[in-house]
Copies of this chain bind each other. A is one copy, B any other.
């Protein structure tokens, strides 16, 4: 419908005013948890075959190396311990577990506005990983990463709308003691963001300390258990088809402490998983199903994310590659398996093999991120900042990742088709005696903000404007933005009393 008022009087001024107005939350064109699923790389028959392969693998091959406690839990649930030490899973046990597992998980933020509801094909993007290097963009250099780098990453992610959670993306290489490293990882992340945090523990015994800190941050164990805002990223298997003994013990301790777990199976296609995409997905599915049985044997209904994370290899060199098309397919295929089971799931996206945030970094990160989103992956891990096939983390890439993921999320939102959006009435009015263009129509003005996603740093100037503006450089602008963010005091910091109490109990490496 033509906006006749604006056509008659000051349409241009009204449009300008409307453009300048800030976006309210309800008006935002994209949000965390939009539903994907329009992209389905597997046919229903393919999905069934992968499922059946996984069931057969669990029944006939099973998994080795469960800890004693796990063997007790799993045999009690119905798994069969073979003379070869492998636990095998009858189909009925697996199918029953799938049927009764927790299918609607909320991952809480310390601030409730960052809560993530994992169900259906709702998509969330965030960081993750265990990079050992920090990418210094200015110096074109890789250096060891520190707890300060990790804290800064959390602080940056905290202010980026399209980074929905902060799983620790790098390890604190400046803290040689593993216990101190684990405690400082939790501290550095939680003191930097009120979004949901993911972490990982080196030893089962460390979980107790972390829980103690989390109870202090939450204001008591009951408050923590009500809204656990940290989850444990748990590499519970060593593919192919072996439990990671110690990680399973960590997992049991986390379950005990009320912490959601990510059941992470990180096979390498061609090395620790079959080289074929279908085979790597099938094995990861089998392994995660075993993990799901394990979790539900320990504590029925405990929140567990189905973490099929198969990675790609460059088979010419045997080196890992996370930026390939094969990687994008691996994760998208996994998303379809999660959906088939109706279980909250996660996989990787956004990784690049590029060493710096260059054009290669852009295309590789987008490919897997947008395909993950379109496939309806609930949790897209490693979605921003990861370079050199996970070896390096980059703050500038994290910031640009916000634009990149915003763009991907606009695609996830998709195309709304209804009488209004089809616009036949508009077309009639514009073409038949109307102005011959849609610039002033109510539809155009109204949808300028609700339908269209605008980049924060991505540059849309004409060559002329760009030239007249001194040819702004994407990386220089991003570094400036990073410095702005880090110059602000973090809104996620703990109150003074809590912080003091934590520092009394733990050796905290970040300055107070």
Chain A 256-291 near chain B by CB (<8 Å), digits 1 or 0: 000000000000001111111111011100000000
Contact residues, A318-338 vs B (CB, 8 A): 318-319, 321, 323-326, 328-329, 333
Chain B's closest residue to A389 (CB) is B460
How far is it, in angstroms, between the C-alpha of A371 and the C-alpha of B471 when the chains are bound?
Answer: 30
| Also in contact, A274 and B427, with CB within 8 A (given A358-B359, A358-B474, A415-B42) | yes
Copies in the complex: 2
How far is it, in angstroms, between the C-alpha of A455 and the C-alpha of B353 when the chains are bound?
Answer: 11
Chain B's closest residue to A313 (CB) is B452
Instruction: Specify which chain B residues have a CB less than 8 angstroms from the CB of A202 in the assembled complex.
Output: none
Most chain B C-beta atoms within 10 Å of own C-beta, residue among A60, A276, A318, A407? A276
Instruction: Specify which chain B residues have a CB less than 8 angstroms from the CB of A423 in the assembled complex.
Output: 53, 274, 276, 278-279, 282-283
B279 touches A53 (CB 8 A): no
A411 touches B316 (CB 8 A): no
B359 touches A441 (CB 8 A): no
**A25 contacts the other chain (Cβ, under 8 Å)?**
no
A424 touches B326 (CB 8 A): no
Most chain B C-beta atoms within 10 Å of own C-beta, residue among A43, A374, A467? A374
Stretch at the interface among A163-171, A185-193, A362-370: A362-370
B50 touches A463 (CB 8 A): no
Could you tell me how many residues of chain A have their Cβ less than 8 Å away from some Cβ of chain B? Answer: 126
**A391 contacts the other chain (Cβ, under 8 Å)?**
yes
A41 touches B415 (CB 8 A): yes
Contact residues, A365-390 vs B (CB, 8 A): 365-367, 370-371, 374, 388-389
Instruction: Specify which chain B residues have a CB less than 8 angstroms from the CB of A39 in the assembled complex.
Output: 38-40, 374
A363 touches B421 (CB 8 A): no
B354 touches A451 (CB 8 A): no
| Also in contact, A57 and B275, with CB within 8 A (given A41-B414, A458-B353) | no
How far is it, in angstroms, between the C-alpha of A463 and the C-alpha of B356 when the chains are bound?
Answer: 10
Q: Which of B355, B415, B462 contacts A388 (CB 8 A)?
A: B462
| Also in contact, A408 and B461, with CB within 8 A (given A278-B417, A448-B315) | no
**A69 contacts the other chain (Cβ, under 8 Å)?**
no
How far is it, in angstroms, between the C-alpha of A156 and the C-alpha of B433 when the chains are bound?
Answer: 48
A422 touches B49 (CB 8 A): yes
B270 touches A439 (CB 8 A): yes
Contact residues, A404-435 vs B (CB, 8 A): 404, 406-411, 414-418, 420-424, 426-428, 430-432
Q: Which of B42, B411, B426 contacts A417 (CB 8 A)?
A: B42
**A95 contacts the other chain (Cβ, under 8 Å)?**
no
How far is it, in angstroms, between the C-alpha of A234 and the C-alpha of B203 when the chains are bound?
Answer: 67
Shortest distance from the beta carbon of A423 to any chain B beta carbon, whole Å: 3
A354 touches B275 (CB 8 A): no
A422 touches B460 (CB 8 A): no
Chain B's closest residue to A273 (CB) is B438
How far is it, in angstroms, between the C-alpha of A78 and the C-alpha of B421 when the chains are bound?
Answer: 30
| Also in contact, A275 and B474, with CB within 8 A (given A358-B359, A362-B358, A404-B363) | no
**A245 contacts the other chain (Cβ, under 8 Å)?**
no
How far is it, in angstroms, between the C-alpha of A467 and the C-alpha of B141 when the chains are bound?
Answer: 8
Shortest distance from the beta carbon of A299 to any chain B beta carbon, whole Å: 28
Shortest distance from the beta carbon of A415 to any chain B beta carbon, whole Å: 5
| Also in contact, A279 and B426, with CB within 8 A (given A359-B362, A439-B318) | yes
Q: Which of B53, B355, B437 contacts A272 (CB 8 A)?
A: B437
Instruction: Specify which chain B residues have a CB less than 8 angstroms from the CB of A355 in the assembled complex.
Output: 459, 461, 463, 466, 471
Shortest distance from the beta carbon of A115 to any chain B beta carbon, whole Å: 25
What are 29 residue pairs bridging A and B, where the CB atoms are less than 8 Å apart in the complex? Answer: A45-B417, A49-B422, A53-B424, A56-B424, A61-B427, A240-B431, A270-B438, A271-B438, A276-B416, A277-B416, A278-B415, A278-B421, A279-B426, A281-B415, A282-B422, A314-B460, A323-B460, A325-B411, A353-B459, A357-B359, A358-B475, A359-B361, A359-B397, A360-B474, A363-B403, A364-B407, A371-B374, A388-B462, A388-B466
Interchain residue pairs A-B with the least CB separation, the first 10: A362-B362, A325-B410, A279-B423, A274-B423, A363-B366, A362-B363, A359-B362, A315-B448, A39-B39, A46-B417
Q: Residues of A at under 8 Å CB distance from B?
A: 19, 38-43, 45-46, 49-50, 53, 56-57, 60-61, 64, 84, 133, 140, 142, 240-242, 270-279, 281-283, 312, 314-319, 321, 323-326, 328-329, 333, 353-367, 370-371, 374, 388-389, 391-392, 397, 400, 403-404, 406-411, 414-418, 420-424, 426-428, 430-432, 436-439, 441, 443-444, 447-448, 451-455, 457-463, 466-467, 471, 474-475
